[in-house]
Amino acid sequence: MKAVQKPGDSFTAFVIDQLRGLGPVEARKMFGGEGLYWNGQIFGLIDEGRLYFRVAPSTLPKYQALKSQPFEPWPGHVMKGYYEVPAEILEDLDEAAAWAREAWALPRTKRRKSVAKTPGARRPRGRRAPPRGSR
């Protein structure tokens, strides 16, 4: 399958080419870097010429065994949910695709729902509250 490439530079093009075993991978601009998407879900990040994949407690040990570091978008702000993909993994077509597939398949955390107002807190349309002090 043909890889999809949008934003980026030569490193992004290289990464997408290395992940061609997955099928179409898309790079989308985000916060000064790029998010990598496959089948509509993010699984990796590219920032400052480095590739990071999503990790979970089950996958983290293999990243740590290869001395990978967590994503740190700015000093002191570490995002432990993404770790750098070691160069030896990225350079191997089969391994790169396998690690990417594993990162993509990790369970997604549920988004927090916004706190709904208590029932009755909203006034029905067409009715106005009485002016203050009129009671």
pLDDT computed for residue 32 by the predictor: 82
Domain chopping of the chain, boundaries: 10-105
Confidence bin at 19 (pLDDT 50/70/90):
very high
Tell me how long the chain is: 135
Could you say which of 3.60.21.10, 3.40.50.10140, 3.30.1460.30, 3.40.50.10790 is the CATH number of the domain covering 10-105? 3.30.1460.30
How do residues 42-77 score in pLDDT, each as one tens digit?
A: 899 999 899 999 999 999 999 999 999 999 988 888
Burial status of residue 83 (CB atoms within 10 A of its CB: 0-12, 13-18, 19 or more): buried
pLDDT computed for residue 7 by the predictor: 45
Among residues 35, 94, 91, which one has the least CA distance to residue 66?
91
| Higher pLDDT, residue 3 or 39 | 39
Instruction: Give me the residue label for tokens 């916004």.
Output: 114
Confidence bin at 22 (pLDDT 50/70/90):
confident
Q: pTM surpassing 0.85? A: no
